[in-house]
Amino acid sequence: MQKFDPIIRLIPKMPRWLWFLVYGIIIINLSQLLADGFLFFAMVGLGVTFRGVRKRQSYLQNQDMAKRIQQLKDTVHLADRQKRQLSDYILNKDTENFQLTARHLLDKLQNIKSESYQLKEHLPKEVFDRINSKADEVKVETLLQLEHLQIEQELDSGAVFEQQIDKIAPELKAFYHNVQTDHKRILKKLEEADNTEELTAIHNSSMQQFYDILTGYLQIKESPKDYYNAQERLDKALEAIKTFDLDLDENLRKLNESALKDFEVSLRMMQDPRN
C-alpha cells in the first residue's frame, strides 16, 4: 500500500462513523449494479480497503508527527549552538556576525515556540515547558545584547561625529546636540505609544536621513575643492539640518501633548461651572 501513499495523504482524516456511512452508501449503490455473489466480494474487498486506508492514514500521521518532533529537536539544538556562537562573537568583538546570527536566532526562537505550541498535545508537559521557558530566556537575553550593542555603536558613532564637528564644522554643534537630545527624548516617549514599533521605525528612518546629510556635509566641508558646487551644497545641507532640528522639536511637542489628554479632560471638568 506504500505506493498509494500520495493518494492516501489526499484523503481527509474521517471519524469511524463517517467511514461506515461512506461504506454503506457505496454498497447500496453497488447492490443495484452487481449480482449477490459479486456484491459479497465487493463488500469484503471494500471493507478491507477502507480498513487498510484508515490504518495507513494513522501510520502516516504518526510518521509525520515523529518527523516534526525530530525537526523541532534539531532546531532547538541548532539554536543552542547559535547561542554559544553569540558568546564567541562578543568575546571577539565581531559585531557584524553577532548581529547577523542574533537576527537568525530570534527568527528560529519564534519558529520553535510556534511549532512547540502546534505539537503541544504530542509532547510531554515538562518538555514543552522547558522548550518555551528556554526560548523566552534566550530571546530576552539576545534582545538585551542587541540593544547593548546598538547603544555602544551609537555612542561610538556619536563620539566620532562630535570630534569631526568640533574640528571642521563648529557651526553644526548646537544643532547636533539639539537633535541628539530630542532623539533620546522621542525614543523614550515612543516606548509609551500604542504602536511603538511602527513609530520608532519611522523615527529611526528619519534619523538615518539626518546622519546621511550630516556625513555628506562633513565630507564636503573637510575638502570643498574636491566637490562640485561645494558651498551651495553646504548651504542646502545646513538648511536641511536646521529644519530637521525644528521638526524634531515639533514631533516632541506633539508627543508631549498627546500625553496630556487626561490632563485636558480633567482641567475642563474642573472649570465647568456645572461642577
Q: Cβ(230)–Cβ(165) under 8 Å?
A: no
pLDDT, residue 87, reads 86
Count CB-CB contacts under 10 A for residue 115.
Answer: 17
Q: Cβ(146)–Cβ(99) under 8 Å?
A: yes
Residues 138 and 208 in one domain: no
pLDDT, residue 272, reads 58
Does residue 48 form part of some domain? yes
Does residue 159 form part of some domain? no
> Distance between CA 138 and CA 136 in Å, rounded?
6
> Distance between CA 231 and CA 236 in Å, rounded?
9
pLDDT digit string (tens) for the chain, length 275 residues: 567 677 777 778 888 888 888 888 888 888 888 777 788 888 888 888 888 888 877 876 778 888 889 999 999 999 999 999 998 888 888 888 998 999 999 999 999 999 999 999 888 999 999 999 999 999 999 998 888 887 777 666 667 788 889 999 999 999 999 999 999 899 888 888 778 888 888 998 999 999 999 999 999 999 999 999 999 999 999 999 999 999 999 999 988 887 776 665 555 666 655 54
Place of cell 555603536: 153
Residues 11 and 133 in one domain: yes
Place of cell 527624548: 185
Q: Residue 83, Cα to own-chain centre: how many angstroms?
A: 18
Beta strands in 159-247 (DSSP E): none
**In terms of C-beta density within 10 A (0-12 exposed, 13-18 middle, 19 or more buried), how is residue 105 classed?**
buried
Q: Which residues of 120-156 are buried (b: 16+ CB within 10 A; e: fewer)?
A: eeebeeeebeebbebbeebbeebeebbeebeeeeeee
Does residue 161 form part of some domain? no
From residue 83, how far is each of 88, 104, 146, 207, 267 by CA, in Å?
9, 10, 13, 31, 53
Does residue 92 form part of some domain? yes
> Distance between CA 144 and CA 147 in Å, rounded?
5
Structural domain span for residue 112? 2-144
Residues 95 and 21 in one domain: yes
Count CB-CB contacts under 10 A for residue 108.
Answer: 18
Residues 123 and 191 in one domain: no
> Distance between CA 87 and CA 75 in Å, rounded?
19
Residues in the chain: 275
Does residue 160 form part of some domain? no
Residues 174 and 138 in one domain: no
Q: How many domains is the chain partitioned into structurally?
A: 2
Cell numbers found for residue 274 = 456645572
Among 144, 177, 207, which residue terminates a domain? 144
Q: Residue 117, Cα to own-chain centre: how many angstroms?
A: 17
Q: Residue 217, Cα to own-chain centre: how many angstroms?
A: 35
